[in-house]
Amino acid sequence: MDFSHRAIEKKWRKYWEENNIYKTTDTHDKKAYILDMFPYPSGAGLHVGHVKGYTATDIIARYKRMNGFDVLHPIGYDAFGLPAEQYALKTGNDPREFTLKNIDVFREQLKKLGFSYDYDKEVTTSDPNFYKITQWIFEQFYKHGLAEIRYATVNWCPGLGTVLANEEVEIKNGQMVSEVGGFPVEKKPMKQWVLLITKYAEKLLDGLDNTQFPESVKELQRNWIGKSEGMEVEFKIEKGDDLKVFTTRPDTIYGVTYLVLAPENGIVPEITTKEHTKEVLDYIDATSRKSDLERKDESQPKTGAFTGSYAIHPLTGEKLPIWISDYVLNDYGSGAVMGVPAHDPRDWDFATKFDLPIKFVMETKTQDKVFTGKSKMINSGELDGLTPKDAMKKIKDILVKKGIGEPKVNYRLRDWLFSRQRFYGEPFPVLFDEQGNIVLVPEQDLPVKLPHGDYIKPSGTGESPLANFKDWVNVDLDGVKYRRETNTMPQWAASSWYFLAYILTDKPNQLIDINSPEAMERFKKWMPVDLYVGGQEHAVTHLLYSRFWNQFLFDIGIVPYSEPYQKLINQGMILGPDGEKMSKSKGNTISPDEIVETHGADTLRLYEMFMGPIDASLPWSYEGLDGSMKWLNRVYRLIDTQTFTDTNNGHLDYIYNEVVKKVTSMIEDLKFNTAISQLMVLVNAMYKEEENTIYKPYVEGLIKMLSLFAPYISEEMWAMLGNKPSVTQQQWPTFDPTKLVLTTTTVVFQVNGKVRGKAEVNKGLSKEELLSLAKDDDNVKANLEGKTIVKEIVVPDKIVNIVAK
């Protein structure tokens, strides 16, 4: 009969919890730190996309345990965030209570699915014991000159009452809106905390070479950091100070026909002439309402305004008009670029739009369009006739000798805006005295906890709702009055170091001091993370931020390794049955709770791993789900109805050892779908054996391998064979290489080229022996009856073909 998944799941979950089966051990000389990107505990609970990534890591965690590793496989909750705060504003409930209820739902779902997490390692980022360390790390950033308050133009969202990072803003119908809620977003100058991640740009680039990230992820990070090597060239301005312009192509300097500045460039007001002031101010105002995403969009038509001023070409003395345009960003390089329209697509579009001169300085067949290739230099004075490579070397020497240029490295990476005008986030451990000086909260007074009360609506002043809590904001220390920082940290703060928190935890949210000898010993044991699995949507932001935090903590001696993660896998999405991305509005979402109820956790886990490669995005199929359940029933019936033997007749030697070898290799390579296919091959072979002849150790090996994918039913079948304790605590099966040498082969019998029979024979039989076997085959005999044999063709170990008329 089929297995009862509800009864089995209840039974074995109770056993695992009572016996603390998945407790993190520290008894082996090999370790494996297997990490999931932890979830935000939304009110919607887990979705089947979560299950895909979590099952993948669970398979590896179970596999490593069975191979004699100490395994750290934890889970926690990225609990601060806008959704909880928005819920609190709408309902009047405290976001902390709402979040804890959601966490209880998530935890129950995770346990139902049989994931082998050590729940004693659980952390919640909104717990004061957790964010005490977040605040301590921030203080170290400040002490080392990597955190500062800066006046910056930010993405202000009145509807959410907070500043948003560029990554939290979308463009819809030509307007900036928040990713959460779709509220309008505007540009606004505000005082903000920033972390100086740009000082780590080179380390972040170099560190990528020491990771096993997918090349696509490495490239995303390299592009985001955007290292550019070039020169800073001085252009004199007819009226005003010299202007420094960064360029990666100084070899094209003779092709410069204009300069273009970012509208925000501080020099713009100084050089704008009276007759162009209104046009320039109107343009600056229009630009202020655009996001960096819009301004970087190459498809947008070029716009700009002429300042009325001119610069002097440093080599030719020509007058160059100075324009402003929003395709130049003020925080990249010097906020000024030299326009070389003949050889840059953006400059070409700008020059043709405003009828500016176009001067070609490289040979090209036609001058009717921009030329971005490489050819000999022309119209370039002493560079004429040189290749771009030689021209680059020569022009650098010339500019340096003349004192009008110097080598420069720039990065596209911007410093990290670290302030949020929210209630529900980590408070900054910062006080301001009456003169506005910054004072850090003493370490012994951490954490600075969020206040309790009903005043969590936006303050209306641009400050965080924390400004409403007057008793909390105003502090008197030893007779000196201070005012607390009322902004909170972004959600990215906690996720930038949470992988270390699991190592510091022995009971949920009880963390030892991160700056202690014991913490260092633990970090030496467990870091870096051996396998990290999560969605590619975090490939830049979270991954870059957490690498930055870890590298900083390495530099100040808190952790022993500069890179936090060794191997990274981005799991593909599970699409709706219609092939579209799952969403409530489309009505194509799948609830894992419903699947566990109808098909069982094992079926859901097995199906999601069997769908295809872990990094592929594939549509959900109920037929595939049903098929996975049928196969598990088939395995269960094999164990339930057969009697196995301790005597090996050798029939399954080859197939069993081959499957163990292949599955082991496939698990190591995270090829879970093909590993399951191999288990199906083994089950098929066992069903072909006669009653009471299947070798019991091979059946036990099958159950051990299956336990990675379907732990509940595997525990039940392991016990049905009379074994204990838990199958997950057994050793991984090994294969015997001597059993992988086949001594038999299948020979096909043909009559006039058509297959009429076949036989399993010992290898190396003579042609005569094979012919004799073929002629004795009943079907071959029937097809030769009444015919004369004219030719006999024998390919040893493969084919016998009898030609007859």
310-343 burial, b at 16+ Cβ within 10 Å, e below that, comes to bbebbbeeeebbbbbbbbbbbebbbbbbbbbbbb
Using DSSP, state whether 23 is helix, strand or coil. Answer: coil
Asked whether residue 517 is domain-assigned, the answer is no
Given a cut of 80, whether residue 223 has pLDDT beyond it is: yes
Task: Look at residue 561 and tell me whether its pLDDT is greater than 80.
Answer: yes
Token output for 799: 């084919």
Task: Give buried/exposed letters for 554-579 (b at 16+ CB in 10 A, else e).
Answer: beeebbebbbbbbbbbbbbbbbbeee
Statement: residue 291 has pLDDT above 80: no
Cβ count within 10 A of residue 553: 23
Please give the average per-residue pLDDT across 518-523, as a whole number: 98
Q: What is the dihedral of CA 207, 209, 210, 211, to 10 degrees?
A: 100
Evaluate if residue 403 carries a pLDDT over 80. Answer: yes
Q: How confident is the model at residue 153 (pLDDT cuts 50, 70, 90)?
A: confident
Q: Which of 411, 429, 461 is the last residue of a domain?
A: 411
Q: What is the pLDDT of residues 662-694, one digit of tens each?
A: 999 999 999 999 999 999 999 999 999 998 999
User: Residues 767, 667: one domain?
Assistant: no
The reply to whether 250 and 387 lie within a common domain is yes
Q: Tokens representing 122?
A: 């659980």
Residue 152 token pair: 């910056």
The helix (H) or strand (E) run that includes residue 243 is strand 243-247
Domain co-membership, 327 together with 252: yes
Q: Residue 112 falls within a domain, yes or no?
A: no
**Where is the domain boundary, 739, 763, 782?**
739
Q: What confidence score (pLDDT) does residue 588 get?
A: 84
Six-digit token string for 718: 């392991």
CATH number for the domain harbouring residue 763: 3.10.20.590
Residue 696 assigned to a binding site? no
Determine the average pLDDT of the residues in 55-79.
98
Radius of gyration of the chain (CA): 34
For the stretch 189-211, pLDDT in tens is: 788 899 999 999 999 999 999 99
Residues 733 and 631 in one domain: yes
Rounded to the nearest 10°, the torsion over CA 123, 124, 127, 133 is 60
C-beta of residue 774 within 8 angstroms of C-beta of residue 757? yes
- Condensed to tens digits (0 to 9), the pLDDT of residues 715-757 reads 999 999 999 889 999 999 999 999 998 778 899 999 999 999 9
- DSSP conformation letters of 267-290: THHHH--GGGHHHHHHHHHHHHTS
- Give percent of the chain with pLDDT exceeding 90: 80
What distances in angstroms separate CA 710 from CA 114, 163, 554, 633, 753, one per listed residue? Answer: 9, 45, 39, 12, 46
> Could you tell me the pLDDT band of residue 621, with boundaries at 50, 70 and 90?
very high
The whole-number pLDDT of residue 461 equals 67
User: Is the distance from CB of 783 to CB of 751 less than 8 angstroms?
Assistant: yes
Looking at the DSSP assignment, which residues form a beta bridge with residue 306? 323
Q: Answer whether 261's CB lies under 8 Å from 267's CB.
A: yes
For residue 143, give the H/E element and its range: helix 128-143
Provide the b/e sequence for 618-650 (b: ≥16 CB within 10 Å).
Answer: bbbeeeebeebbebbbebbebbeebebeeeeee
Q: Residue ranges of the alpha helices (H) in 289-387?
A: 292-296, 345-354
Strands 799-804 and 789-795: antiparallel
Query: For the domain that residue 636 is a member of, what is the CATH number?
Result: 1.10.730.10
SS3 per residue for 483-506 = EECCCECCCHHHHCCHHHHHHHEE
* Average pLDDT for 513-518: 97
| Rounded mean pLDDT, 544-568 | 98
585 exposed, middle or buried (CB, 10 Å; 0-12, 13-18, 19+)?
A: exposed
Write the pLDDT tens digit of every residue in 635-658. Answer: 999 999 999 999 999 999 999 999
Q: Who contacts 559 (Cβ-Cβ below 8 Å, separation ≥6)? A: 500, 520, 523, 527, 550, 553
In the predicted structure, residue 459 carries a pLDDT above the cut 70: no
Residue of 87, 120, 114 whose CA lies nearest to 101: 87
Task: Clarify whether residues 403 and 273 are in a common domain.
Answer: yes
Instruction: Enumerate residues 6+ apart whose C-beta is below 8 A from 684.
Output: none
Of the pLDDT bands very low, low, confident and very high (cuts 50, 70, 90), residue 343 is: very high
Rounded CA separation 233/337 (Å): 10
**Percent helix, strand, coil in the chain (nearest 5)?**
40, 20, 40
- Name the DSSP letter for residue 451: P
Which residues fall within 8 angstroms of residue 257, CB to CB, at 6 or more apart? 320, 339, 340, 341, 351, 356, 357, 358, 359
3-state SS class at 448: coil
Residue 186 pLDDT grade (very low, low, confident, very high; cuts 50, 70, 90):
confident
What is the greatest pairwise CA distance in the chain? Answer: 119
User: Within a domain: residue 470?
Assistant: no
Question: Same domain for 764 and 795?
Answer: yes
Give yes or no: residues 759 and 735 share one domain: no
Looking at the fold, whether 729 and 749 belong to one and the same domain comes out as: no
pLDDT at 536: 85
Q: Of the candidates 411, 438, 470, which is a domain's last residue? A: 411
E strand or H helix that includes residue 759:
strand 754-762
- Would you say how long the chain is, in residues? 805
Q: Say which residue, 582 or 382, is predicted with more confidence.
A: 382
pLDDT reading at 174 higher than 80: no
Task: Find tokens 């290292």 and name the residue.
Answer: 227
Report the Cα 150 to chain-centroid distance in Å: 30
Cβ–Cβ under 8 Å, residues 392 and 250: yes
Quick check: bond before 388 cis, omega within 30? no
- Mean confidence (pLDDT) of the chain: 93
Determine, yes or no, domain membership for 498.
Answer: no
The answer to whether residue 6 is domain-embedded is: no
- The alpha carbon torsion through 56, 62, 66, 69 (nearest 10 deg) reads 90
With 90 as the cut, is the pLDDT of residue 506 above it? yes
The answer on 725 and 746 residing in a single domain is no
Contact at 8 Å (CB) between 412 and 201? no
Amino acid identity for residue 175 in this structure: Q
The partner residues of 191 in beta bridges, in order of sequence, read 151
- Does the pLDDT value for residue 626 go beyond 90? yes
Q: Does residue 163 lie in a domain region?
A: no
* Residue 278 sits in the same domain as residue 343: yes
Q: Looking at the whole model, is its pTM more than 0.85?
A: yes
Residue-level pLDDT at 668: 97
Percent of the chain with pLDDT over 70: 99
Residue with more model confidence, 313 or 43: 313
Distance CA(238)–CA(109), nearest Å, equals 70
Q: How many domains does the chain have?
A: 3
Q: Are residues 748 and 697 in the same domain?
A: no
Q: Is residue 646 part of a domain?
A: yes
CATH code assigned at 238: 3.90.740.10
Count the alpha carbons within 13 Å of 607 in the hemisphere toward its beta carbon. 27
416 pLDDT band, cuts 50/70/90, is: very high
- Establish if 130 belongs to a structural domain: no
| pLDDT at 584 exceeding the cut of 80 | no
Asked if 617 contacts 572 with a C-beta cutoff of 8 angstroms, the reply is yes
- Residue 324 to residue 337: CA distance in whole angstroms: 10
Got the DSSP string for 539-599? TTHHHHHHHHHHHHHHHTTSSS-S-SEEEEEEPPPEEPTTSSPP-TTTT----HHHHHHHT
User: What is the domain extent for residue 691?
Assistant: 621-739
Same domain, 673 and 782: no
Whether the pLDDT of residue 110 is over 70: the answer is: yes
